[in-house]
A and B are shown apart, each in its own frame.
Chain A
Amino acid sequence: MSTPFYVSPQQVMADRAEYARKGVARGRALVVLQYADGMVFVAENPSRALHKVSEIYDRIAFAATGKYNEYENLRIGGTRYADLRGYTYDREDVTAQGLANLYAQTLGTIFSSQGEKPYEVELLVAEVGESSAEDEIYRLPHDGSIIDEHGSVAVGGNSEQIGSYLKQRHRDDMPLDEALRLAVAALGRDGNGGEVRELTADQLEVAVLDRTRPQQRKFKRVLGRQLARLLGESGAAESETTDGSGEEND
Chain B
Amino acid sequence: MVGNSHDQGRLPAAFLRPGSSSFFDFLADIAPEQLPGNRVLPPVEGPVQIPHGTTIVAATFTGGVILAGDRRATMGSQIAQRDVEKVFPADEFSAVGIAGTMGFAIEMVKLFQLELEHFEKVEGQVLSLEGKANRLSAMIRGNLGMAMQGLAVVPLFAGYDLERAKGRIFSYDVTGGRSEELGFAAVGSGSVFARGSLKKLHREGLTEQQTVTAVVQSLYDAADDDSATGGPDLTRRIYPIVTVITEEGFRRLTEAEISEIARTVHEGRLQLPNGPQAPVL
Which A residues form the contact surface with B (CB < 8 A)?
A: 49, 51, 54-56, 73-74, 76-81, 83-89, 101-103, 105-106, 108-109, 217, 245-246, 249-250
Q: How far is the CA of A78 from the CA of B6 in the complex (A)?
A: 13
Whether the Cβ atoms of B10 and A105 lie closer than 8 Å is yes
Q: How far is the CA of A55 from the CA of B117 in the complex (A)?
A: 10
Q: Which of B11, B30, B92, B118 has the most CB of A within 10 A?
A: B11
- B9 interfacial by beta-carbon distance below 8 Å: yes
Whether the Cβ atoms of A86 and B9 lie closer than 8 Å is no
Query: Inside 8 A of A49's CB, which chain B residues have their CB?
Result: 124
Whether the Cβ atoms of A250 and B92 lie closer than 8 Å is yes
Which B residues form the contact surface with A (CB < 8 A)?
A: 1-4, 6, 8-11, 15-16, 18, 23, 26-27, 30-31, 34, 92, 110-111, 114, 117-118, 121-122, 124, 247-249
Beta-carbon nearest neighbor of B107 in chain A: A87
Name the distance in Å between B27's Cβ and chain A's nearest Cβ. Answer: 7
Whether the Cβ atoms of B9 and A101 lie closer than 8 Å is yes
Whether the Cβ atoms of B11 and A84 lie closer than 8 Å is no
Beta-carbon nearest neighbor of A58 in chain B: B117
Query: Inside 8 A of B2's CB, which chain A residues have their CB?
Result: 84
Q: How far is the CA of A10 from the CA of B249 in the complex (A)?
A: 57
Q: Which of A55, A85, A87, A102 has the most CB of B within 10 A?
A: A87
Q: Which of A55, A76, A106 contacts B10 (CB 8 A)?
A: A106
Whether the Cβ atoms of A87 and B121 lie closer than 8 Å is no
Whether the Cβ atoms of A250 and B249 lie closer than 8 Å is yes
Q: Which of B1, B16, B23, B248 contacts A83 (CB 8 A)?
A: B23
- Extra pairs beyond A84-B23, A88-B1 (20, CB < 8 Å): A56-B121, A73-B16, A76-B15, A76-B16, A77-B11, A78-B11, A79-B121, A80-B26, A83-B121, A84-B2, A84-B3, A84-B26, A87-B111, A87-B114, A88-B3, A88-B4, A105-B8, A105-B9, A106-B11, A250-B248
Whether the Cβ atoms of B121 and A55 lie closer than 8 Å is yes
> Can you list 20 pairs linking A and B with CB atoms under 8 Å apart?
A54-B121, A76-B15, A78-B11, A79-B121, A80-B15, A80-B26, A81-B11, A83-B23, A83-B117, A83-B118, A84-B2, A84-B30, A88-B1, A101-B9, A105-B6, A106-B10, A106-B11, A246-B247, A246-B248, A250-B92
Given A76-B122, A88-B3, A109-B10: A81 touches B247 (CB 8 Å cut-off):
no
Whether the Cβ atoms of A83 and B15 lie closer than 8 Å is no
Name the distance in Å between A121's Cβ and chain B's nearest Cβ. Answer: 13
